Amino acid sequence: MKPHGIKDPYSYPTFLINEQICGQNIHHMAEKARANKLIFRPHFKTHQSVEVGEWFRRAGVTAITVSSVSMAQQFAAAGWQDITIAFPLNLREIDAINQLAETVSLNVLFDMPEQADGLAVKIKYPAGFFIKIDVGHHRAGVLPTDFETIDTILSAAGSDLLQFRGFLTHAGQTYSAKSREEILNIHRKTSAILFSLKQNYIQKFPGIITSTGDTPSCSLAEYFTGIDEIRPGNFVYYDLMQLRLGSCRFEQIAAAVVCPVVSVYPARNEALIYGGAVHLSKESIINADGSKNFGLIVPFIDGKWQKPEGDDSLVSLSQEHGIFKTDSHWARSLKPGDLVAVIPVHSCLAANLFRIA
């Protein structure tokens, strides 16, 4: 919460977006989709911002992905007409889904026959559905070999108002990959799995598509054989996790959290910032020595964050406090009252914590 009565805009942690870099990231991914003849349906859960959504619209985007019914409502109200809720259908939200389906072209996800059955009996307006496939992330989805469940979902969704749109996945296991080659291998395997499923069902359901979309795969892959639609989200800002995975360069990171330095502790080469888990989340990456890294501290000069001066990493976070290691000469010269920028580990979570309009 912003305190009252303070004029200095950086007196408390501030989520900053570089519009130019953001625009370049959007343009680059939109061009990649165009070059590969893919439907580009970016995930808006990263930014959750109507304004950033408009930057996508300027790049020609008309179809979007969201991760909740409330997010679908937010963007439908902002004029988005083609929305996929890429989260398995929650049977307790069918009323809201009906309201959305009345006004926008809506797609939902099933990974259990009960969801298909539950919606089929209550749906009042035309809607599309994808079957969510688990290609190895093991978070949600039907295993690609489980034809029995796929067929049962298809029969359970037997309403004239429900149209089968195809097979959708999120290969989130790319986030645990150890190399770019491993990410590309996951991408190739994912594409082959979805394509084979589509081949199995295309005769019966002409027009079905394959949809995938994790930022590491979409950023690194040049070819998308077997894929019809991509839905990356994180690429709009990128972050420290993506930098570590090799999905982006530092220059492509479009969001940072500006934090005041509160105290410095030269005896232990550490400093304290106003910036904690409520601003950055507790997401971490693991350093080579096994320690946790909650964000990278970089200089903030003339309203812009700069390249890192060294390994000035956030080593611990509590609710409002962050402690960072002052590795570089620059970090050791910091004084209370100075400003630093934190490159967040996971920009989706940091953006969500600040929730810009």
Query: For binding to ligand PLP (CB under 6 A), which residues are involved?
Result: 43, 65, 86, 170, 213-215, 231-234
Q: Annotate 174-191 with DSSP letters as a single string.
A: GGG-SSHHHHHHHHHHHH
Closer residue to ligand PLP, CB minimum distance, 52 or 334: 52
Tokens standing for residue 94: 């069918």
Spatial separation of the C-alpha atoms in residues 179 and 16, rounded to whole Å? 30
How many residues make up the chain in this entry?
357
Least separation in angstroms between CB 273 and ligand PLP: 26
- Helix (H) / strand (E) element for 88: namely strand 82-88
Least separation in angstroms between CB 139 and ligand PLP: 8
Least separation in angstroms between CB 150 and ligand PLP: 18
Least separation in angstroms between CB 147 and ligand PLP: 22
* Nearest-10 Cα torsion for 265, 268, 274, 278: -160
Angle between helices 147-156 and 113-122 (to 10 degrees): 10
DSSP state of 323: E
Least separation in angstroms between CB 191 and ligand PLP: 15
Contact 327, 269 (CB under 8 A): yes
Tokens standing for residue 32: 């990649």
Least separation in angstroms between CB 245 and ligand PLP: 10
Strand partners, 295: 344
Closer residue to ligand PLP, CB minimum distance, 135 or 296: 135
Contact 352, 318 (CB under 8 A): no
Contact residues for 174 (Cβ-Cβ < 8 A; gap 6+): 182, 183, 186, 187, 214, 216, 217, 245
Residue with tokens 């620059």: 330
Least separation in angstroms between CB 170 and ligand PLP: 4
Closer residue to ligand PLP, CB minimum distance, 117 or 214: 214
Spatial separation of the C-alpha atoms in residues 87 and 253, rounded to whole Å? 27
Tokens standing for residue 325: 């290691």
Closer residue to ligand PLP, CB minimum distance, 233 or 308: 233
Closer residue to ligand PLP, CB minimum distance, 130 or 324: 130
- Helix (H) / strand (E) element for 156: namely helix 147-156
Least separation in angstroms between CB 234 and ligand PLP: 4
Closer residue to ligand PLP, CB minimum distance, 304 or 355: 355
DSSP state of 68: S
Closer residue to ligand PLP, CB minimum distance, 170 or 325: 170
Least separation in angstroms between CB 71 and ligand PLP: 12
Closer residue to ligand PLP, CB minimum distance, 47 or 325: 47
Closer residue to ligand PLP, CB minimum distance, 198 or 231: 231
DSSP state of 4: S
Strands 255-265 vs 14-17: parallel, antiparallel or unpaired = antiparallel
Contact 171, 190 (CB under 8 A): yes
